[in-house]
Structure 1
Amino acid sequence: MPDVEVPRPSPLRALKTHLQLLRASTARSKWLGALCWLLAFGLLLAHALLQDLRQQRQAFHQATELLLQNSSHRLRGSELLQAEAADIAARALDDGQERIRALALTATRNQPQLYFIGYQPLVGQEQRADFEARLSQRLGKRYALLDYLHGQHNDWRDPAAWRPAPPRSRYLPLSMAEPGLGSTDWREMGLDLLNDSVLSSSINRALGHLQASSPTLRLRNGEFGIALFQTVYRIAPPSPVPMVRIEQAAGVVMQVLYLKPLLALPPSLAGRYSLQLLRRDGDAAPLRLAVERDSGRLARLLPRLSHRGALPSLPYDLVLERQLQFERLSAAELALCMLFALLPAYLLWMALSLLEYNRQAREQIQDDIFREREYASVALRGIGDAVISVDTRQIIQYLNPAAETLLGLPAAQALQRRLQQVAPLHYEFSRQPTQDPMEQAIASRQVVHLAQNCYLKRHSGEKLLVEGSVAPLLGRNGQLIGAVLTFRDTAPIRRRMLAALEASETRLRQHEMELARVARINTMGEMASGIAHEINQPLSAIMSYCQAGLSLLDDDEIDMAMLRRALTSSVNQADRAGRIIHRLREFVTRKNQQLAPVQLNQAVHNALSLLDYELQDHDIHIEQNFAPELPVVYADTIQLEQVVLNLARNAVEAMEHTRPWGRLNITTRKQGERVQLIISDNGSGIPADKLDRIFDPFFSTKPNGMGLGLAICQTAIEAFGGKLSAGNKPGSGAEFIIDLPCAARSMAVPSGVEA
């Protein structure tokens, strides 16, 4: 069929036809168009975001370089200031303190990081009193050398922690702090720096190595700072030996710097970066100097930038961090991305709609014509017989009136149901596994004829012997689209059926004889194990009598009467044991088991066929739930059928007084690599106190039972590598489960029997 062309008589008509085509497109086309739009929108949006993130990374690297440059520049200015103050202190000028004070006042104008600077001389014990008096006069208040007992923080805020400094060989008191910190209310004045727990290690390092820096300090205004120390020596140049150089020290120039101004970011970058100060040796916790603003949960999905740079001449590193954000994601950019993404999505949607419209129109017409022609042809070929057409899943699609008549089921109740539920095929007394003809025809794509012993179980329960075939149903491209089952009732052909019935009766009689013989064999085996103690008793008596006779022969005067009685008793006991064995040999002739692959469903059907009269006589309803495609088991067919027959008869006897009727349930199923047969009833069940003993030989719950039936069944099943267990169902009734291993895969064939 040619492709359908969309007419275009006018632009308005073309637009209307175009919209109808898009509206009638399949969900697949719409979803693909939407997916294309999402993909295009995602690509455009990702491009914009990548550009934004690239610019943010460049800005981060520029901010890092700017921070390090500014910090290095400010630190260099502080070092020059400290070097000038050290030079003034080294010359020991009379106006040295005034010069250092003027130098500090000048530095505060362009060095906002300066907290204070001052020269702190070393004072010996003999100079302490004079030094305290001189400083008290200069400051206008009492000046004394003090110690401070530090707590958790590196500050000097607790007034109760100050103590007078004890006598020491020398001190390094805090005596100068410019600009402006030498006021009368500044408590730190007089602190012995050389023995302070926070600063002593840094000062000792400066005395031996000229320069040093302190840990981070908590200053009086709550901000963090750091102290720089530079030693002034009495001798220039000082000794290269650190211990000697410490003795040559005259004092220390101490400069305390604010950390925030020293390491400050430009105002335009405030709130966008996090800044931390870390010691390289890891002795102290990181000090956070700046915190960025919260960027929201969405921004946390993006990576976080981090850079760690070293500060020159200080044992610290700067860690600058920034969270990438969606800065350029505005509503206008989103709208543009969505608009540009519509174009490829629309073109794809239109193309798919046209292709789908043409394909559906062409295939629908061709499939309808071919399917109608094929169904009509098959129906005409099988018009005289019952015809059932199924698809590849064996779901019934069509059946003719003849099939309705033979099945006893109207077409409305049979259509769209599985074939095995409507027309289950069974095989009478089949000893070998039989493959399902429907599955065989579908697999081989060839016509398969039904077996001669095949019968159909109608909806009413009546058995109907049938003959016929299964033919595969192929599509126009040769693909398999289903199969057709054709069968007929063989009742009109009396002569052929008579011969088949006679053969079936012969097989039935032979089957019953073999079942009876196997029952005797199994019964005798259990009886032999059960009465072994009876044979053991005469043997024990014989041994006792013979030992007594030997003892009499050892006497000097032999009592012939006693010896005769002992020998006579031994002969009697031997005769008793012989009679027991003779009866066992007469009861059965031993024969080896004939193990072969057995189809469990078929074996159950064979055994139940012998119970039809008993089931009807006791008004017992049977429910059969057979699993399809059940693997075969490796067992003796006759013994397996005998076990099923014994368990079913026990169930029938247990339901003798069940009202309104008894219900026998037979179920087969596959459990992993094993096959199970479950036989249950709705009788009185097994007493709970006797459930553990029902398989013991000579134990029975029946008034006149021998107690060997279940023991025989258990022995037979265990001989096949299986297991027989019993229990009670919830409510009422007993349940027996036969669990058998599956045969090798080379022996397993699909089941041809379903119920």
Structure 2
Amino acid sequence: MAGLYLRSYHRTVLRVLLSYLLITLFALGIGSLLSVRFSKRVKRELLGYEPDAFRQLFLQRMDILDALDEGLMAIDEHSMITYMNRAAADILKIKVKDALGQPLKTVYPRSTMARVLQTGKSEYNIGLESIKHVSVISDRMPLWRDGKVEGVIAIFRNRTEVTRLAQDLTGVQHIVGALRAYTHEFTNKLHVILGLLQLGEYKQAEDYVLHLTQTRAHSIGYISERIREPSVAALLIGKAYRAAELGIRFVLDPASELHGDGQYLPASSLITILGNLTENAFDALRDAPENAQKEVTVSIREGEHGMLISVDDSGAGIAADKLDRIFERGFSTKGEGRGTGLSLVKETVNAFHGTIRVESEPGIGSSFIITVAESANGQQ
């Protein structure tokens, strides 16, 4: 009886073990099948990348976006900030970690990004007047998913440096400065006339106006007769007023002649060269003693075979160890934010295959001489 029960017990145990084994194998098969399908689905959601490869790619893309000069900022459908790169944080003057997950109105109260959530339309070249410390243009694009706007991404482009360089290259800044000096000088003369009238010195006021009119007419006529390019003549007239304001004698060489046909240099390039060189000459005389002779002489000579431009000053001169570096961008002895004027002059002269020479003697002054030959200009 014991033997029979023992054999029955062994058979029962074997049947149970076999049943559990079959169940385990079945479960493993089903689990493997589901795992393969789930893995394929995950890989499909990861655009065919393995998770480790996708993580590496994601981190690389984040580093690339963070290294861009353009600012990037994204919000979700609830106007919560979901992404911001370093450049955007610098423009908005906020830390990235303090911005993520915050409402847009908290980080950038005057932003109009949220309206793209309502309209679903992209907006381009929007000037951000609310950001005062830099010049910024923004593009905003809606992020669509399944036919619904689920967020907005904004691109901030800092145009401060580009605008400044464009002004330097086109000479706009020099023309504006010349007009400002003219206005300032004119205002001073009006104050003198007003004072004479209030004092009852009518005859003296009349004489002053006549003398001023004749002097200014002679000065303007003197320059315009020799410089027939209107924008260059306007620049030199403005520089003359600016020099008078600084107590500097500004002289245009009587032998100067410019036809204004742009045969050797276009007007914009002439403005860049003359504007920067005269400002450099004025800077050289700013710290000169009151009793020192302050004089800046400009000469523009245009002939059959080329052009010669020279700007001379009676300043302290340039030290010999600095002469080789004065045309380097960013190099300046006048403090931070300077050092672009002479480099622009050099680049402009090189663009037209001209040459620039500097002659300077400490205590006597400096001369910048530029030549553009007909054959060199013809190679453009």
TM-score band, normalised by shorter chain: 0.3 to 0.5
* TM-score, structure 1 normalization: 0.22
* TM-score, structure 2 normalization: 0.40
Rg larger for: 1
